[in-house]
């Protein structure tokens, strides 16, 4: 279970550009939940993921994982049981290394070792097996430089790299946004399969309202650092894109847009 309690986040404290994004923000994500987060630009979605992953400091509040308070825990240490995929396929992979080298780096994220050693055959076979599960033929491209793969292929590889070792939490920040609609659908299908197979607790930020409705077990909408809609179970199943759009419109009318 992931718990955020009474979070306060101020950007640029003490400066003229000071901005309080969260004040008293709380969120509980039970084990096995697949939470989709929607919300307008600047509503705080990426900041929330950054707080969960320890990428940015907070002024107050706590982040707890399975009962352990990890508020002060360093980002790289959290990644032992967190996998994260970003909007930009370039963020999750290194373009100048081969797919094999990228997989090996991801595989060794919890160990102190460099790139020096050759990847043993058993591990290479494991990487191939993992890549084969996504059905894009990437298992035959282990020796290809990742920079020469397409964005969709790269994002699929990033997803496999983030989830190939046991993790508890998968964090997705608009991970299909840079892809064409067909490839985005493929990546979303692969994501859903992977989440179910591995029983991952998942937090997915998306601007794709269809994905937010069709996938996942809970849906929240954020606005100005607050949760303005929260639907789970049957209530979520009965929510369609029109309902979410109506909520978006209501919010922007309130803002005078």
Ligand X SMILES: Nc1ncnc2c1ncn2[C@@H]1O[C@H](COP(=O)(O)OP(=O)(O)OP(=O)(O)O)[C@@H](O)[C@H]1O
Closest CB to Mg ion among 45 and 231? 45
Q: Which two tokens stand for residue 39?
A: 């919300």
Q: Write each residue from 181 to 220 as x if it is in contact with Mg ion (CB under 5 A), else as -, in one continuous string.
A: ----------------------------------------
Q: Write each residue from 25 to 54 as x if it is in contact with ligand X (CB under 6 A), else as -, in one continuous string.
A: --------------x-xxxxxxx-------
Q: Is 11 in the site for ligand X (CB under 6 A)?
A: yes
For 191-239, give the DSSP string.
HHHHHHHHT-EEEEE-S-HHHHHHSSSEEEEEETTEEEEEEEHHHHHT-
Provide, rounded to whole angstroms, the least separation between the CB of residue 110 and Mg ion.
27
Q: Which residues pair with 131 in a beta bridge?
A: none
Provide, rounded to whole angstroms, the least separation between the CB of residue 171 and ligand X.
13
60 with 42: CB under 8 angstroms? no
**What is the strand order of the sheet 201-205 is part of?**
82-85, 169-173, 201-205, 34-39, 218-223, 226-232
Q: Is 175 in the site for ligand X (CB under 6 A)?
A: no
Find, among 67, 36, 73, 32, the residue nearest to 53 by Cα.
73
b or e along 108-147 (b: 16 or more beta carbons within 10 Å of the residue's beta carbon)?
beeeeeeeeeebeeeeeeebeebbeebebebbebbeeebe
- Ramachandran assignment for 254, one of left (phi > 0), alpha (psi -120 to 50 degrees), beta (any other): alpha
- Binding Mg ion by CB under 5 A: which of 1, 3, 32, 46? 46
Contact stretch for Mg ion (CB under 5 A) within 6-14, 40-48, 91-99, 153-161: 40-48
Provide, rounded to whole angstroms, the least separation between the CB of residue 46 and ligand X.
3
Closest CB to ligand X among 21 and 131? 21
Count of residues interacting with ligand X (CB under 6 A): 12
- Give the span between the Cα atoms of 143 and 104, in whole angstroms: 12
Closest CB to Mg ion among 175 and 218? 175
Closest CB to ligand X among 32 and 42? 42
Closest CB to Mg ion among 1 and 91? 91
Partner from ligand X, Mg ion, none contacting 20, C-beta within 5 to 8 A by type: none
For 143-194, give the DSSP string.
TSBGGGS-HHHHHHHHHHHHHSS--SEEEEESTTTTS-HHHHHHHHHHHHHH
Q: Which residue is nearest to Mg ion (CB)?
A: 46
- Binding ligand X by CB under 6 A: which of 4, 7, 21, 161? 21
Partner from ligand X, Mg ion, none contacting 257, C-beta within 5 to 8 A by type: none
Residues that bind ligand X (CB under 6 A): 11-12, 19, 21, 39, 41-47
Residues that bind Mg ion (CB under 5 A): 45-46
């Amino acid at each position: 279970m992931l718990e955020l309690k009474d979070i306060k986040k101020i950007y640029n404290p003490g400066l003229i550009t000071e901005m309080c994004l969260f004040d008293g923000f709380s969120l509980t994500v039970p084990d096995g939940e697949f939470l989709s987060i929607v919300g307008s630009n600047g509503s705080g979605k990426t900041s929330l993921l950054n707080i969960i992953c320890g990428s940015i400091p907070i002024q107050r509040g706590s982040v707890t994982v399975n009962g352990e308070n990890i508020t002060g825990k360093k980002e790289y240490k959290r990644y032992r049981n967190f996998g994260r995929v970003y909007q930009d396929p370039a963020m999750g992979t290194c373009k100048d290394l081969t797919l094999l080298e990228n997989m090996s780096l991801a595989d060794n994220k919890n160990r102190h070792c460099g790139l020096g050693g050759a990847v043993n055959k058993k591990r290479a076979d494991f990487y191939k097996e993992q890549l084969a599960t996504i059905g894009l033929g990437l298992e035959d491209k282990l020796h290809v430089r990742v920079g020469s793969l397409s964005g969709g292929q790269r994002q699929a590889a990033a997803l496999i790299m983030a989830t190939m070792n046991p993790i508890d939490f998968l964090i997705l920040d608009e991970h299909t946004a840079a892809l064409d609609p067909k490839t985005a659908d493929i990546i979303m299908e692969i994501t859903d399969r992977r989440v179910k197979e591995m029983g991952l607790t998942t937090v997915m930020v998306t601007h794709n309202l269809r994905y937010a409705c069709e996938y996942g077990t809970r849906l929240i909408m954020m606005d100005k650092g607050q949760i303005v809609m929260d639907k789970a179970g049957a209530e979520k199943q009965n929510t369609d894109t029109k309902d979410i759009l109506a909520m978006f419109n209501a919010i922007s009318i309130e803002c005078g847009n």
